[in-house]
Amino acid sequence: MLAKIKNKEEKMKKTPIWILMLSVTTVCIEVLRELSSFCIRKYEINQKSKDDQTAKGDIRLIFLSDLHGKNYGSKNVKLVKAVKKQRPDAILIGGDMLTRTEKDTDCTAVSLLKELASIAPVYAANGNHEQKMKDEPEFYDDRYARYKEQLLDCGVHILENESCDVQWKGMPVTITGLEIPISCYSHFRERPLAVKEIEARIGKPDPSRYQVLLAHNPVYMEQYSRWGADLTFSGHLHGGIIRLPFIGGLITPQAQLFPRFSGDIYQTEGCYGIVSRGLGTHTVNLRYLNMAELVSVTLKKE
């Protein structure tokens, strides 16, 4: 009888260890899965009419951000096929398509953007990685200049605190790429950003046109809306690296906990903001409950 009791006690002691091992294994498998694949996240937004100038039909936009030189198949063939399947009217790029500390990621980004430019017009803003390469040539030589030249040769529209007026199925649209001060990406703290600072860089929006803003850092989503963006696209936070149910992203690249705008669609003051969870990683090669994503947005005709 004593022997049976001892065996039962030993089994009970071993049970938590097996549960722990199984849990760790399950988490590791899921992390590997999320690091090697991506999903297509779809959103629908009703077109916001400006002076009764709405589009003649639905408009399909594809948004990519934070690739960081990642390859999904040879030369990103899986990503290219997924974009083609969506039949976009335009492709928007939110920055950090490369990693400034890894030179080989430049070629990966250029190769992908060249393929995308053959599918639909591509409009690209810079992230903090491209911006830092541009601002600090003493550390990165002419890497950014060469990168930019190759993209321009592919027909990519690069918007460095610049705007581009387009017509999407008859609707007048302005696409603007914003570069905020690099100090806005500092670790452990959030630097204030005034609307006047945004205006100093990109001017004021035309209220008669539908305003699309490509702004890499979503921390300032409310400021972008107050500036006048009807639809803002951001990335940068990689979805918060780990996502918690009912809470969202856990931590930002600036080591700030529980970011408000980490990866979803948001509405502030009647304007929309979409934050991509990104396609790649850098430094912290980890994703959990936070699948990499290609974002597809349909502007629905009212």
pLDDT over 90, % of the chain: 79
Per the CB < 8 A criterion, the answer to whether 233 and 276 are in contact is yes
Q: Residue 301 — very low, low, confident or very high, per pLDDT cuts 50/70/90? A: confident
- Answer whether residue 2 shows pLDDT above 50: no
- Answer whether residue 34 shows pLDDT above 80: yes
- The span from the CA of 210 to the CA of 53, in Å, is 9
Residue ranges covered by each domain of the chain: 1-36, 40-300
- The span from the CA of 68 to the CA of 238, in Å, is 11
| Spacing of C-alpha 179 from chain mean position | 15
> What number is the average pLDDT over the span 157-186?
96
Q: Residue 78 — very low, low, confident or very high, per pLDDT cuts 50/70/90? A: very high
40-300 belongs to which homologous superfamily? Metallo-dependent phosphatases (3.60.21.10)
- Answer whether residue 202 shows pLDDT above 60: yes
Per the CB < 8 A criterion, the answer to whether 158 and 210 are in contact is no
- Answer whether residue 9 shows pLDDT above 60: no
Which pairs from 131-138 meet CB under 8 Å and 24+ separation? Answer: 131/95, 131/179, 131/182, 132/100, 132/182, 133/100, 134/160, 135/182
Lowest mean per-residue pLDDT among 7-21, 48-62, 185-199, 241-255 = 7-21
Phi, psi (rounded to 5 degrees) for 163:
-125, 160
How many other β-carbons are positioned within 10 Å of the β-carbon of residue 174?
19
Q: Residue 270 — very low, low, confident or very high, per pLDDT cuts 50/70/90? A: confident
Q: Residue 283 — very low, low, confident or very high, per pLDDT cuts 50/70/90? A: confident
Q: Closest Cα partner for 253 from 274, 229, 277? A: 277
Per the CB < 8 A criterion, the answer to whether 126 and 97 are in contact is no
Which pairs from 157-166 meet CB under 8 Å and 24+ separation? Answer: 157/121, 157/122, 157/123, 157/124, 158/124, 158/126, 159/123, 159/124, 159/125, 159/214, 160/125, 160/126, 160/134, 161/201, 161/202, 162/202, 163/202, 163/203, 164/123, 165/209, 166/90, 166/121
Look up the pTM and report it.
Answer: 0.92
Kindly report the average pLDDT of the chain as a whole number: 92
- Answer whether residue 14 shows pLDDT above 60: no
Lowest mean per-residue pLDDT among 11-25, 27-41, 101-115, 175-189 = 11-25
Q: What is the pLDDT of residue 48?
A: 73
